[in-house]
Amino acid sequence: MLVKEGKSVFNGVAIGKIFVYRKADKAVSQNQVEDTTAEMARFEAAKEKAMSQLKGLYEKALKDVGEEEAMIFDVHQMLLDDLDYNESIQNIIENDKMNAEYAVFMTCEQFAAMFLSMDDDYMRGRAADVKDISERVISILNGSQVSPEAMPEPVIILAEDLAPSETVQFEKDKLLALVTQKGSANSHTAILARTMNIPSLVSTDVEVDPDYDGKMAVVDGFAGLLYIDPDEETLTKMYEKKGRADQQRALLQEMKGKETVTKSGKHIHLYSNIGGIQDVDAVLENDAEGIGLFRSEFLYLECDDYPSEEVQFEAYKTVLSRMGGKKVIIRTLDIGADKQIGYFDLPKEENPALGYRAIRICLTREEVFRTQLRALYRASAYGTLSIMFPMIISVKEILRIKEIVEEVKLELAREDKPVGNVELGIMIETPAAAVISDLLAPYVDFFSIGTNDLSQYTLAIDRQNQSLDNFFDPHHEAILRLIQVTIENAHKYGAWCGICGELGADMELTQRFIQMGIDELSVSPGYTLALRKRIREC
Ligand code: PEP
Ligand code: MG
């Protein structure tokens, strides 16, 4: 038995097999082969697996976003089955005696170049599709692909590190726990783990050794420990611990349906943070009063290209309709820094956290922003929508946002598209915004304090950098004072103020936040009932 220490980002006990996650290997090997029949068989097997994945993706997209958007996976299947494409691969393997990866790669290059040289825009667009299917086949061939199909049963993922774009690919019901060698407690992967309600460790002192694949393991999120090949005694103890944790969770069920109110009668709005439609079930199961932060960028991270107005409209509408009139606060696109999306083609930066991100991208690439705002306002007719804007530092930004919002609303009115009454708010997640919150408050309906970024910028501690953890103090007086001043200034101008950063779930601070006058707390769905209990004790 091996025992490894990590930093827990979500409590709980998970028991199951390890799946060692390897990053997709983009390098393509180039080798001569003797046995071309065996090589052709390798290609055929990989192709068959890719086909079945594409079928699965078609079904999933059909269910989640509709037929029009699902069609792309149909097109991918047709391209993968194309006679010329397959003949080219066969020729390179059989005549040139090259390995299958190289044959697929060369064929892809030829076909992509051919599509790109065409006059028709639609045909030129197919170059990206050929690349996509070829990369899929190559990553299956070289064994670097993780897909839900590769995980026959729920597993504990062991990885060096996980980018948000990788974490979102995992099927939630195939995950027991996440364990990463790198990563910090405030990283987006940690936040996703909390949203998914699974015990997880970051910054773990463990090698990402392929030999661990398939080994039995236990993640103890209470103690921050990973046991690999646990002995009988440990396993028995861990099953007992898991049982107690399940029991405690069951006890919290009595909080369902109860009001979130302090002993002195102050009601606190208790909302949930989500990353996508798939998290709405957890919000409803945990009886949250609404959604306080929908990180809309995850919708963009899950797509291979800019999600259209229609795709976004359907997603927002689904969330609003499922919440049945309860408040839903959707944050506009917040990418950049650790949330990189290939098709945005963002420039490489020396200091990405201090760089081109969030509202800065939206205000300079207005077409992207306007598409999202149109989708949001159209969806607003189906529930109670609030929109909030990330990374604000000035009044000037709010004024420009409001101009664009008015133009979008006018456009929709001209098209006779109904819209609802939408509250507008901003995230307070830069020290600048907190300090001038008195100047910002008159222009908005609400503030939502993003303590994850507010902490990193106030303390000058990169939230991604695990080696600074010893210097990081989430209860630092500077952060608490900025929260206090933000709440006071919001109230002075008739705006309400909440917290949607991870600190909102820190129950050592609940009493203090209430004394400061906080109106709302938005936390991962799994924390909702425990926090309700804590608030009722205050
Ligand atoms: C925050 O910064 O606290 C926040 C809620 O936004 P994100 O974690 O997505 O940056
Ligand atoms: Mg933030």
What is the per-residue pLDDT across 299-310, written as a single tens digit (0 to 9) for each? 999 888 999 999
Q: 24-33, 42-51, 317-326: lowest mean pLDDT where?
A: 24-33
- Single residue among 96, 122, 141 that ends a domain in this structure: 141
Q: Indicate if 317 and 421 belong to the same structural domain.
A: yes
User: Is-catalytic flag, 476?
Assistant: no
Token look-up 């997709």 returns 24
87 assigned to some structural domain: yes
Q: Is 287 in the pocket of ligand 1 (CB under 6 A)?
A: no
Residue 321 located in a structural domain: yes
Residue 263's pLDDT is what?
96
Name the residue range of residue 235's domain. 2-22+148-240
CATH number for position 504: 3.20.20.60
Residue 264's contacts (CB-CB under 8 Å, 6 or more residues apart) are none
Q: Check if 452 has its Cβ closer than 6 Å to any atom of ligand 1.
A: yes
Is the domain of 510 the same as that of 417? yes
Choose one of 184, 294, 295, 459 to mutate for the ligand 1 pocket test, by most ligand atoms within 8 angstroms of C-beta. Answer: 295
Measured in angstroms, how far is the CA atom of residue 338 from the centroid of ligand 2?
Answer: 11
> Which candidate in 188, 362, 475, 497 is catalytic?
188
What is the percent of the chain where pLDDT is above 90?
72
Q: What percent of the chain has pLDDT over 70?
A: 97
- CA distances, 69 to each of 57, 62, 74, 370 (Å): 11, 7, 10, 20
Question: Tokens 């902490």, residue?
Answer: 455
Q: Which residue has the tokens 């209990």?
A: 533
pTM (2 decimals)? 0.75
156 neighbors 439 (Cβ within 8 angstroms): no
Region of poorest pLDDT, from 142-146, 315-319, 347-351, 356-360: 142-146
Nearest CA-CA partner of 451 in 526, 522, 353, 363: 522
204 inside domain: yes
What CATH number is attached to the domain comprising 164? 3.50.30.10
The confidence band for 152, taking pLDDT boundaries of 50, 70 and 90, is: low
Q: What is the CATH number of the domain that holds 42?
A: 1.10.274.10
CA 334 distance to own-chain centroid = 11
State the average pLDDT for the chain: 92
Tell whether 333 and 194 lie within a shared domain: no
Q: Which atom of ligand 1 is nearest to the CA of 450?
A: 3
Joined together, the tokens standing for residue 178 give 């996440």
On whether residue 245 sits in a domain, the answer given is no
- The residue whose C-alpha atom lies closest to atom 3 belonging to ligand 1 is 450
Amino acid at 20: V
pLDDT-derived band at 269, boundaries 50, 70, 90: very high
Examine residue 291 and state whether it is found in any structural domain, yes or no. yes
Least confident of 138-142, 384-388, 458-462: 138-142
Q: Per-residue pLDDT averaged across 72-84, rounded?
A: 91
Pair (54, 191) in one structural domain = no
Measured from the CB, is residue 501 less than 6 Å from ligand 1?
Answer: yes
Q: Check if 101 has its Cβ closer than 6 Å to any atom of ligand 1.
A: no
Whether residues 440 and 512 fall in one domain: yes
Rg (CA), the chain: 25
Query: Is residue 30 one of the residues assigned to a domain?
Result: no
Q: How far is the CA of 372 from the centre of ligand 2 (A)?
A: 19
Gap between the Cα atoms of 250 and 452, Å rounded: 30
Question: Residue 220: how many CB atoms within 10 A of its CB?
Answer: 26
Strand partners, 201: 8, 179
Q: Tens of pLDDT along 513-523?
A: 999 999 999 99
Classify 423 as helix, strand or coil: strand
- pLDDT score of 62: 78
Residue 29 within any structural domain of the chain: no
Is the C-beta atom of 312 inside 6 A of ligand 1? no
Domain boundary among 240, 270, 290: 240
The answer on 483 and 342 residing in a single domain is: yes
Q: Which long-range contacts (CB under 8 A, 24 or more apart) does 486-490 make?
A: 486/428, 486/433, 486/434, 486/437, 486/447, 486/449, 487/516, 487/517, 487/518, 488/517, 489/437, 489/438, 489/440, 489/441, 490/437, 490/441, 490/446, 490/447
338: left (phi over 0), alpha (psi -120 to 50) or beta: alpha
Q: Is 81 contained in some domain?
A: yes
Q: Give the model's confidence band at 150: pLDDT under 50 very low, under 70 low, under 90 confident, else very high.
A: low
Query: Among the atoms of ligand 1, which is closest to the Cα of residue 188?
Result: 8
Q: How many domains does the chain have?
A: 3
Q: Are residues 323 and 195 in the same domain?
A: no
Binding residues for phosphoenolpyruvate: 295, 331, 452-453, 463
- Render pLDDT for 218-240 as a digit per residue (tens, 0 to 9): 999 999 999 999 999 999 999 99
User: b/e string for 268-282 if b means 16 or more Cβ within 10 A?
Assistant: bbbbbbbbbbbbbeb
Evaluate: CB of 273 within 6 angstroms of ligand 1: no
Please report, in angstroms and rounded to a whole number, the separation of the first and last CA atoms in the chain: 44
Confidence band of 470 (pLDDT split at 50, 70, 90): confident
pLDDT at 382: 97
In the predicted model, is pLDDT for residue 491 greater than 60? yes
161 lies in the same domain as 129: no
164: confidence class by pLDDT, cuts 50, 70, 90: confident
Determine the distance separating the centroid of ligand 1 and the alpha carbon of 389, expressed in angstroms: 11
SS3 of 187, please? Answer: coil
- For residues 173 and 66, state if they share a domain: no
pLDDT computed for residue 147 by the predictor: 57
* Catalytic status, residue 303: no
The pLDDT of residue 431 is 98
Residue nearest to atom 8 of ligand 1 (CA): 452
Q: Are 405 and 424 in contact (CB under 8 A)?
A: yes
- The reported pLDDT for the residue numbered 65 is 63
Whose CA is closest to 379, among 412, 419, 337, 427?
419
> What is the average pLDDT across 402-413?
98
Using CB atoms within 10 Å of the CB of residue 315, give its burial: 0 to 12 exposed, 13 to 18 middle, 19+ buried: buried
Mean pLDDT, rounded, for 436-461:
97
Closest CA to 451 of 330, 221, 292, 223: 292
Q: Domain check: are 171 and 216 in the same one? A: yes
Query: Is 207 found in the same domain as 123?
Result: no
Predicted pLDDT at 165: 64
98, 119, 141 - which closes a domain: 141
Same-domain status, 163 and 230: yes
Angle 348-354-360 (CA atoms, 0-180°, nearest 5)? 85
pLDDT in tens, 244-254: 999 988 889 99
